[in-house]
Structure formats: C-alpha cells, structure tokens
C-alpha cells in the first residue's frame, strides 16, 4: 500500500478517487482550498465522508501559496502524487481569466517543484479533452495536435501538460498526464450539464440546450474514470533514455523519447448526443423537460470522442457504465441529497 497525495481532494473527481484509494487500503494526504466557485457545503460534505477513514488527512491550503506543500509534506513523503486541483469550467474562464492563471499555472508549478524536491515514484496530472480544441479528427488521439485551444481554460491545461513534460525530462520524474472526457455521476459539480438539467427539470423550469442540440459528448461515468486513474497510478512510465531502440516510445506507450512521460485519454469512447442525454434524464426523473434551443456558446466544440486504445494497453479493460445507469445513479443521489 502507498501514501498518496491528492490535490483537489474535496472536488468531484478528487472525492471519488480518494474514497476508492482509501477503500483499497492506501493512505491519502489531501489538499483543497475549498474555493467558492460552487457551493462550498457540497465540498465540505465530501471531505467529511473521506475524513471518516483513519488513513485520510485533509489540509485546507491553496496550491498558489508558496510553501504550502512543504507544510503538508511534513506529515509524510507520498510515493504517488495525483494533481487534480484546478479552476474548472469553460464558460467561467471567459469572465474570470485570472483565476485560471493563478490556480492552474501557478498551482501546477508549485506541484512540479514539490515533485522535483521530493521525487515521488509517480506524478499524475489531470488535464482535459478541451485541449484538443479545434481538432476535427475523431476520435481524439493522444498524438493529435493540441496547438489551437479555444478557451483560456484549455490553454492553461495544455500549458500544464507542457510544464510537466519539461520537469519529467529535466529531473527524471515519471509522469502521467490524463485527459478527462465529460465526467458525470453522483456528487457532481453544480455547474455541469447533468446537475443543471436535473435541478431545473425537477423545478419545472426550462433547460438551455446549446447549438440547438447538435452536439455529442463522450460522457464518462466517474467510477469508471477513477478506477482507471487508480490503475494508472501504479503503472509509472519508464525513462526511454538508455533503452534499446526497439523498446522505445511506441512499444512503451510513452508520449516522449526524452522523458518518462505519457499522456492518456480517459473516456468511454462512445459519444452520446446531447438530446439523447436529455432523454435519459427525463426518463429517470419521470417528467419531460421544456427545451430551450440556443446557439453555440463561445469556446464550445460540437463533439468529443476519446480514443482509449493507449489506456487499455496500459491497464486492464474495464466495463463502461451505460448512460442510462449512470444518469439514474446521479438522479437518485440528487433526490436523496436535496430531499426532493
């Protein structure tokens, strides 16, 4: 069993991942700033559940704060570091750009400096399918160009990937970057479509559907995603430098021939139309939605679709949760949590 440092532990994905790691018998040191981007009470409730585990310790600090990680590390040296903390949201970045520079770039820089000093066995850094930006080739493959991000959010996450590669190259830090594809499920963020649609349908209010519904997303159920991350955490990429040419990057599923570094998509690899997604929500709630069809919003893309061939070569195949099952689990959680 390992000691794992998880940043953004009270976030949607951080909560589910940390709970899984604790259930597997690992020790978890958590960091979260509990920022008010969305309901802090929801974050506190997640943290309280995790703190019921004896092997979980949570620190309320901001990664942008210089020296914060040194104080946290005094409790023990983590063998694995999983960096999830970030300022999320595509649309929020249009109005609050500075939050993304501070949380995503400065915060990630501090994590990289921590890894340089502490040399964990494996550093994992969360990225996003948004880095594929204007790419139109489907499915999105880890080797596709990501030089044309459409939002500042995507640009900062791409920058984090590049920064992580440089540290991996310079200091030999085994690093995995994983790109998430539209994660959903219980305890999800209130700014995400499933949460908003469920809330408004239950209240009898109309829902806004962008691009008149002509969109597809590679919806990925949160349990499937965190199981993949937990598997990846124990499979650090080797350093290709010094290896025989026949066993270098392509055979090792690396993303670099000068660093122990890989990029891995994590998605369901089965896009679903937004209208089909809304249909599933309606069936689970038991009432129709009043659909307000509106134009595409700035920074959005019509389709996301993950190639997961690399993921499935590195970790065992996992059964993907059907949309109807995942949506029903969220709706059941929502009704229970909010008493509706």
Output the pLDDT for position 162: 98
Angle at which helices 40-50 and 12-23 cross, to 10°: 10
Q: For residue range 251-266, what is the model confidence (pLDDT) as tens digits?
A: 679 999 999 999 999 9
pTM assigned to the model: 0.96
Output the pLDDT for position 250: 63
Long-range contacts of 96-100 (CB under 8 A, 24+ apart): 97/152, 99/37, 100/152, 100/153, 100/156
Contacts of 122 (CB under 8 A, 6+ apart): 79, 80, 81, 174, 175, 176, 233, 234, 236
Output the pLDDT for position 100: 96
Residue ranges of E strands in 191-233: 207-209, 216-217, 220-221
Q: Which token pair is 1?
A: 């069993």
Output the pLDDT for position 317: 73
Catalytic residue (one of 153, 184, 221, 334): 153
Flag whether 59 is in a domain. Answer: yes
Count of residues making up the chain: 340
Active site residue 153: yes
Flag whether 91 is in a domain. Answer: yes
Residue (of 329, 138, 125) closest to 217 by Cα position: 138
Output the pLDDT for position 298: 85
Flag whether 163 is in a domain. Answer: yes
Flag whether 295 is in a domain. Answer: no
Flag whether 101 is in a domain. Answer: yes
Local structure of 76: helix, strand or coil: coil
Residue (of 69, 1, 18) closest to 59 by Cα position: 69
Flag whether 36 is in a domain. Answer: yes
The total number of structural domains in the chain stands at: 1
Query: Which domain range does residue 253 map to?
Result: 3-180+222-269+300-321
Q: For residue range 172-201, what is the model confidence (pLDDT) as tens digits?
A: 999 999 999 999 999 999 999 999 999 999
Structural contact between residues 8 and 59, judged by C-beta atoms closer than 8 angstroms: no
Q: Which token pair is 17?
A: 């991942």
- Stretches where the chain sits below pLDDT 70 are 245-251
Flag whether 277 is in a domain. Answer: no
Output the pLDDT for position 248: 63
Output the pLDDT for position 297: 86
Q: What is the CATH number of the domain that holds 47?
A: 3.40.50.720
Residue (of 206, 201, 186) closest to 340 by Cα position: 201
Residue (of 119, 3, 111, 120) closest to 56 by Cα position: 3
Flag whether 134 is in a domain. Answer: yes
Instruction: Report d(CA 107, CA 100) in Å as an integer.
Output: 10
């Amino acid at each position: 069993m390992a000691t794992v440092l998880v940043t953004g532990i009270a976030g949607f994905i951080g909560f589910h991942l940390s709970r899984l790691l604790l259930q597997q018998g690992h020790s978890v040191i958590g960091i979260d700033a509990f920022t008010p981007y969305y309901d802090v009470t929801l974050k506190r409730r997640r943290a309280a559940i995790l703190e019921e585990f004896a092997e979980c310790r949570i620190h309320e600090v901001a990664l942008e704060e210089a020296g914060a990680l040194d104080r946290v590390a005094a409790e023990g040296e983590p063998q694995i570091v999983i960096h999830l903390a970030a300022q999320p949201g595509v649309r929020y970045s249009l109005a609050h750009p500075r939050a993304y520079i501070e949380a995503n770039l400065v915060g990630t820089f501090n994590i990289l400096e921590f890894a340089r000093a502490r040399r964990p066995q494996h550093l994992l850094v969360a990225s996003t399918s948004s880095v594929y930006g204007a790419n139109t080739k489907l499915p999105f493959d880890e080797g596709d160009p990501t030089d044309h991000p459409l939002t500042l959010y995507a640009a900062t996450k791409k920058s984090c990937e590049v920064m992580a590669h440089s540290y991996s190259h310079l200091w030999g830090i085994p690093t995995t970057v994983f790109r998430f594809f539209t994660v959903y499920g219980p305890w999800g963020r209130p700014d995400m479509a499933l949460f908003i649609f469920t809330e408004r349908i239950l209240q009898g209010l109309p829902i806004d559907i962008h691009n008149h519904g002509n969109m597809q997303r590679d919806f990925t159920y949160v349990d499937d995603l965190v199981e993949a991350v937990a598997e990846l955490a124990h499979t650090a990429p080797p350093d290709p430098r010094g290896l025989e040419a026949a066993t270098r990057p392509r055979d090792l599923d690396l993303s670099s021939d000068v660093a122990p570094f890989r990029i891995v998509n994590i998605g369901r690899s089965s896009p679903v139309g937004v209208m089909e997604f809304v249909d599933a929500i309606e069936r689970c709630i038991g009432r129709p939605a009043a659909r307000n069809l509106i134009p595409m919003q700035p920074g959005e893309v019509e389709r996301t679709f993950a190639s997961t061939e690399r993921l499935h070569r590195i970790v065992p195949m996992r059964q993907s949760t059907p949309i109807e099952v995942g949506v029903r689990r969220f709706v059941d959680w929502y009704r229970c949590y909010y008493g509706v």
